[in-house]
Structure formats: C-alpha cells, structure tokens
Chain A
C-alpha cells in the first residue's frame, strides 16, 4: 500500500534538545495527523491539522500543514525522556481524517538520552 515519506528515520538526542521531523507526499492531502506510538501499544493522536498553512500547538509540540498540501512537519521542544517512541504522520484526502482512510508515514524513531 501507499505510504508517506517521513524523515528522519530515527533520531538520537540529548534531553532538552529540540526535535523536528517531516512528512512529504507526491499528492495532495486535505488532512494531516501526527501520532505517537509506544512499543506494544496503539498510536495516540498528538495533533490534527485540517487547513493548509495551519500551525497548531499542543504543549511542547507544534505541527504545521504545508501550504502546498503535500507536506507537514512536527516539532518537539525541550525534549524529555518520555518523548521516546515512534512518531507517525498520517494523511487523508477528504476533509476530516476520519471520513476517509488514512495513509501513514514510515515513522520516525525518537530516542532521548537523559
């Protein structure tokens, strides 16, 4: 199945550092979602973006819906050990990520050293 290109594939950082990851597609999406998955668990929604150019924050997390509708990025500021996990972007081609199936990114593994 189709997947979105997500980078970097993995990141190993020190506690307190800022993190940035992005997701790109060759086609347009109307919704971008960012999830975090801990080992052996299901993904947990972090941020949902529904409008091109939209910039949304959730605590130390900030995500933006690219103007071209073909990309999105997620920033984590002042990382802490519990930020460890795999981060996935997901896109949907209909308004609202729920009404149509999601296409997932390849994931970014984040490791934070105390």
Chain B
C-alpha cells in the first residue's frame, strides 16, 4: 500500500512561535495532498487542499495567513502554523492522493504553551 509520513510526530512550542509540519508520500507521487485537523473524540475536519505547483485551497473559516501551505514537490507538502496560540493545539493529519484513494499520514500532535 501507499505510505505517507509526517514529521514531527509531536511538537511542543511556546505561544507566538511558528511550527512547520511536513507531509511526505514515500513511495508514490501526489499532485494533491490534504490537511486535516482533529480535536479529541471528534471527526476529521478538512482545512485545505494542497496542490503541487499552485496555491492551496482553504476551507471556509480557515485563515490562510495563519496556516501556510506549500506543496513544492510531488512528494512533499508542508503546513506552517504561524504565531501559534494555545487554541491551535490539536492533532493535524495530512493525506495524499494516489489514483482513486486518499492515504493518510500518522498525524502530528501540536501543543502550544
């Protein structure tokens, strides 16, 4: 099956700092990747669609200047949480498209103090 990795798996940062999360498709190329956010005991909520070589498409209510997405290659998309605040603490999960299916990464737990 297709493998998607995320780095880091966990990150703790101080309020006001920026955090970058990487999503990589390890054994396939992905022109489209997706970023989700998940709160405890809740379902996945799509934040944005990341397209290689073009601007990301953000869902309603998601601040594009707050959550910067860069999809610079066919195997890497990054999500940068800028000027992080405690309310940004969450589980962030990416997925990558391969043919007709989305494959998910293992997630990144962000804690902002």
Contacts and interface: CB of A to CB of B under 8 A. Distances in A.
Interface stretch (A65-73, A76-84, A98-106): A98-106
Interface residues of B, number: 29
Interface of B: 1, 4, 6, 32, 34, 42-46, 49, 59-61, 91, 93, 95, 97-107, 109
Interface residues of A, number: 24
Contacts, number: 67
A98 B104 contact: no
Interface of A: 1, 3, 31, 33, 35, 40-45, 48, 50, 88, 96-99, 101-102, 104-107
A40 to B, nearest CB: 7
B15 to A, nearest CB: 24
Contacts of B46: 1, 101-102
Given A1-B46, A43-B44, A43-B93, A102 B102 contact: yes
- What's the dominant secondary structure at chain A's contact region? loop
Contacts of B99: 96, 98
A47 B109 CA distance: 26
A97 B102 contact: yes
Given A98-B97, A99-B97, A1 B45 contact: yes
8 contacts: A40-B107, A42-B6, A42-B104, A42-B105, A98-B97, A98-B98, A101-B49, A104-B43
B84 to A, nearest CB: 20
B103 A97 contact: no
Given A41-B107, A42-B93, A98 B101 contact: yes
